[in-house]
Structure 1
Amino acid sequence: MIMDHFHNNDLEYVVDDPFGDDLFREDEPQRNDDLDDAVDSEFEDDFESSKPQTDTSALEARNGKDIQGISWERLNFTRDKYRETRLKQYKNYENLSLPRSELDKECLEVEKGQTFYDFQYNTRLVKSTIVHFQLRNLLWATSKHDVYLMQNYSVMHWSSLLRHGKEVLNVAKPIAPTWQRPGLLSKSLSRVQISTMAVKENLMVAGGFQGELICMYLNQPGVAFCTKITTGENAITNAVDVYRNHNGSMRIMVANNDAKVRVFDAETFASLNTFSFNWSVNNTSVSPDGKLLAVLGDSAECLIADANSGKVTGSLKGHLDYSFASAWHPNGQVLATGNQDTTCRLWDIRNLSQSLAVLKGNMGAIRGLKFSSDGRFLAMAEPADFVHVFDTQSDYVKCQEIDIFGEIAGISFSPDTEALFVGIADRTYGSLLEFNRRHCNFYLDSIF
């Protein structure tokens, strides 16, 4: 992962604002929003400061209110005009300059305009923030009413039922681990800038910008375990995951910029294994049966490895740039990978010679991928503005396109698939968007 733009000592939270006036100044070069450490909002600042920032309900949206609360009627341009200009001028960040002229020909022709999830609510009481422009796994839903997200130095819990936000963990303060055991490599931390997180099975795991790892049980006070897994200068923790191995034991997997993947026992926090690779590892994910490991990073090639030994057993070739996201279909046979070449590739794990299909984004890299737990939908997030929800039963050709404005900090289906949450990182319009799954109920269904 390229780190030239960031310095650990003075890093600010990235809350890039896509609404800056410079987007419309044709005599000035378009800035790449992704590369600004922190950009002040220039859009509606005077107007917003003079009134309270209100949330948006489904009823208000049906009556014509913008779901993000943007007052387009007060601006000198329409939403459609702004979208048109944004699409033309947005510059996607690239690391590799491989030829991409043939890429569009590989991509599926998709039927957009579907509605699988209806807008339900948007709140600004909790605001997603991101600490690095390439990492976006900072939002997790543990139920259709419970969401965990990063807001600056706080891990926040949002209850969509109570419409209430609460701080779960403040990582700006000193953190002392509550578990002390002989041989446990735990140490106190302070002022951690969280770069990635995962919340599964009542365990929250977070990785830090300087190689930190924090583990906290949601039903227990304090942080159970925390440490620095590496001390290198370029030691950002890029991805963490909580999973069950092939024997059913719960594990924590940590992917780091030092080109290593580390495995911890989720019950004792003992270090179990370290796998080394030839490039920085940006993302890992373990297959549903706990046997296979997808490894993605600063390479156009993605790897499949044995999740127990780390031995590479296959490679996935087709992407044209670095990869940052992956997700396994619950059936364990299909793997999705997201790349800076603006595509998601789908792979049949039984035949890795070529991808099953290629799904295309509108503007930027594919930074987030999540399958619903029933395998029916694949959510695909770009760095900003667009989340695509594909119907897997249609072989991914039917798609809902969620069109918004702002950097996307994370996406998450609720475990029961009834809700989809999207975190928006923006100084003015930072918020949490909630969508509810649409069900087609017929009259005859109600009498049986």
Structure 2
Amino acid sequence: MSHHQGDYMADEYKMEDVDDLDEEFHDREMGGPESEVDVYDYLNSKTADTCSAQARRGKDIQGIPWERLTITREKYRQTRVEQYKNYENIPRSGDGSAKECKVTKKGGLFYEFKHNARSVKSTILHFQLRNLVWATSKHDVYLMSHFSVIHWSSLTCNMSEVLNVSGHVAPCEKHPGSLLEGFTQTQVSTLAVKDKLLVAGGFQGELICKYLDRPGVSFCSRITYDDNAITNAIEIYASSSGAVHFIASSNDCGVRDFDMEDFQLSKHFHFPWPVNHTSLSPDGKLLIIVGDNPNGMLVDSKTGKTVMPLCGHLDYSFASAWNPDGVTFATGNQDKTCRIWDARYLSKSVAVLKGNLGAIRSIRYTSDGRFMAMAEPADFVHVYDVKNGYEKKQEIDFFGEVSGICFSPDTESLFIGVWDRTYGSLMEYNRCRNYAYLDSLI
């Protein structure tokens, strides 16, 4: 992945000749407040949230006051699509991928808008990494906000800090190999939460492990002292024996498997290029490996040996996910596509799905395998009907960078983290159900 940690806005979000919504909002909606604090206080009040009833009455889901602006939503959308600069490591990869893409019917309604929480601000620290939002239940979401990991309850609309990495973080348990001196001012590059375990990865190879039902931090490790040490992705899983493990993908070309029973490194595989994302198959036998190479690979999870290369993408990949059926999986790339693969026939992908603006940086399947969501760097999340061959999709459209997406484990909720100076928030969608008896009451 790119080593540039600088301003990803300059790389991927260059908008030209457009009225700045941020300035428009401050000038018109707020009468030019006297200080940044006024703006911050206003934006963080719950009155700025949007609920489903308000959205049904026509309120913008993000609370953008279009009626007071000099540009319509439709015109602003058109301008952003036309002027968006997609980041590419291989020039014109997005143009080259277009001809293979599947024609998908829009207009699906699989998840409906429920709530937009403006008080929940998710942060992006690297423009290529977008997996900073995780759900552990229908109502419990964990996300990165500045130097904190925040727990948000959509049931109570309450927010609490579960990990602060702005100062000094050190483990309060002793385990062999754990860095007892800990870390200072960790910049979190990736995050994973499953059941009661939270694992955060950093820009200098840091790993911080915390159990949500225990005080303090359990384990700290620096997986590499390589100059190119960004931890790009983390996946937590249960092994066949039931032990909790996690896999860390790193810019130093390594993929490491940690056993959390004894907090020990159990496997370390090395690849020819930086690994941006790894996904373990539901049966635990295969790993999808994608990174700074147009070709990904499927490897044996025990040996790290290549089973089959994945050829077709035209740029670097940053996302992958297995369908819970264990047969098909998806990869997301800077060539603006998500490819669907069948593990039984790997000579070519079985479908190529295209984004509107840019790279596919995050992919999630529902636990029942019915839907797949893929996120672009900004403005669009696409939800596909997997059971019907990706023929139909729902396009969720908004304004702002996507910091991450996740489905709740019970498939009932979809959460989208949005980063924007003014309209940053956490959006919640609920799965549509055909409850005929409820419809008859309305």
Is TM (by shorter chain) over 0.5? yes
Asked if structure 1 preserves the Cα contact closer than 8 Å seen for 2:248 and 2:256, the reply is: yes
Asked if structure 2 preserves the Cα contact closer than 8 Å seen for 1:23 and 1:89, the reply is: no
Deviation, 1:312, is 1.4
Which amino acid in 2 is paired with 1:299?
A: N
d(CA) in 2 for partners of 1:330, 1:244? 14
Please state whether the residue corresponding to 1:300 is helix, strand or coil: strand
Deviation, 1:181, is 3.0
d(CA) in 2 for partners of 1:176, 1:99? 43
Q: Residue in 1 aligned with 2:25? A: 44
Deviation, 1:446, is 9.3
d(CA) in 1 for partners of 2:231, 2:136? 22
Q: Residue in 2 aligned with 1:300? A: 294
Q: Residue in 2 aligned with 1:35? A: none
Q: Residue in 1 aligned with 2:36? A: none
Deviates more, 1:56-65 or 1:129-138: 56-65
Q: Residue in 2 aligned with 1:346? A: 340
1:75 pairs with 2:69: yes
d(CA) in 2 for partners of 1:219, 1:211? 25
d(CA) in 2 for partners of 1:345, 1:310? 23
Deviation, 1:22, is 3.8
1:165-193 deviation digits (Å, cap 9, x = unpaired): 11111100101101213454554111011
Alignment of 1:188-337 (within 5 A): 188-337=182-331
Asked if structure 2 preserves the Cα contact closer than 8 Å seen for 1:362 and 1:386, the reply is: yes
Deviation, 1:420, is 0.2
Asked if structure 2 preserves the Cα contact closer than 8 Å seen for 1:385 and 1:408, the reply is: yes
Asked if structure 2 preserves the Cα contact closer than 8 Å seen for 1:275 and 1:310, the reply is: yes
Which amino acid in 1 is paired with 2:84?
A: Y
Deviates more, 1:401-410 or 1:90-99: 90-99
Which amino acid in 2 is paired with 1:104?
A: A
Deviates more, 1:411-420 or 1:92-101: 92-101
Deviation, 1:274, is 1.0
CA 1:247–1:305 in 2, change beyond 3 Å: closer, same or farther?
Answer: farther
1:28-65 deviation digits (Å, cap 9, x = unpaired): xxxxxxxxxxx995442333564723111111111111
d(CA) in 2 for partners of 1:291, 1:320? 27
d(CA) in 2 for partners of 1:268, 1:446? 55
1:356-379 deviation digits (Å, cap 9, x = unpaired): 111110010000000000000000
1:94-153 deviation digits (Å, cap 9, x = unpaired): 111366655333211111011110100001111011000000000001111100001000
Deviation, 1:314, is 1.1
Q: Residue in 2 aligned with 1:30? A: none
Asked if structure 2 preserves the Cα contact closer than 8 Å seen for 1:207 and 1:213, the reply is: yes
- Percent of aligned positions with the same letter in both sequences? 55
d(CA) in 2 for partners of 1:444, 1:132? 44
Q: Residue in 2 aligned with 1:150? A: 144
Task: Note the residue ranges of structure 2 that are not aligned, 5 or more in a row.
Answer: 34-38
| Superposition RMSD in Å | 2.4
Q: Residue in 2 aligned with 1:418? A: 412
Asked if structure 1 preserves the Cα contact closer than 8 Å seen for 2:13 and 2:84, the reply is: no
Q: Residue in 1 aligned with 2:432? A: 438
Deviation, 1:316, is 0.5
d(CA) in 2 for partners of 1:341, 1:135? 16
Please state whether the residue corresponding to 1:59 is helix, strand or coil: helix
CA 1:286–1:446 in 2, change beyond 3 Å: closer, same or farther?
Answer: farther
Q: Residue in 2 aligned with 1:34? A: none
d(CA) in 2 for partners of 1:91, 1:20? 6
Which amino acid in 2 is paired with 1:2?
A: S
Asked if structure 2 preserves the Cα contact closer than 8 Å seen for 1:245 and 1:291, the reply is: no
Normalising by structure 2, report the TM-score. Answer: 0.92
Q: Residue in 1 aligned with 2:2? A: 2
CA 1:98–1:124 in 2, change beyond 3 Å: closer, same or farther?
Answer: closer
Asked if structure 2 preserves the Cα contact closer than 8 Å seen for 1:338 and 1:366, the reply is: yes
Task: Note the residue ranges of structure 1 that are not aligned, 5 or more in a row.
Answer: 26-38
d(CA) in 2 for partners of 1:339, 1:22? 25
Asked if structure 1 preserves the Cα contact closer than 8 Å seen for 2:257 and 2:267, the reply is: yes
Alignment length (residue pairs): 428
d(CA) in 2 for partners of 1:76, 1:411? 31
Q: Residue in 1 aligned with 2:127? A: 133
Alignment of 1:83-94 (within 5 A): 83-94=77-88
1:95 pairs with 2:89: yes
CA 1:40–1:233 in 2, change beyond 3 Å: closer, same or farther?
Answer: farther
d(CA) in 2 for partners of 1:113, 1:272? 46
1:179-224 deviation digits (Å, cap 9, x = unpaired): 2134545541110110101101210011001111011001111110
Asked if structure 1 preserves the Cα contact closer than 8 Å seen for 2:177 and 2:221, the reply is: no
d(CA) in 1 for partners of 2:21, 2:165? 24
Q: Residue in 1 aligned with 2:98? A: 104
Which amino acid in 2 is paired with 1:258?
A: D
Asked if structure 2 preserves the Cα contact closer than 8 Å seen for 1:16 and 1:407, the reply is: no
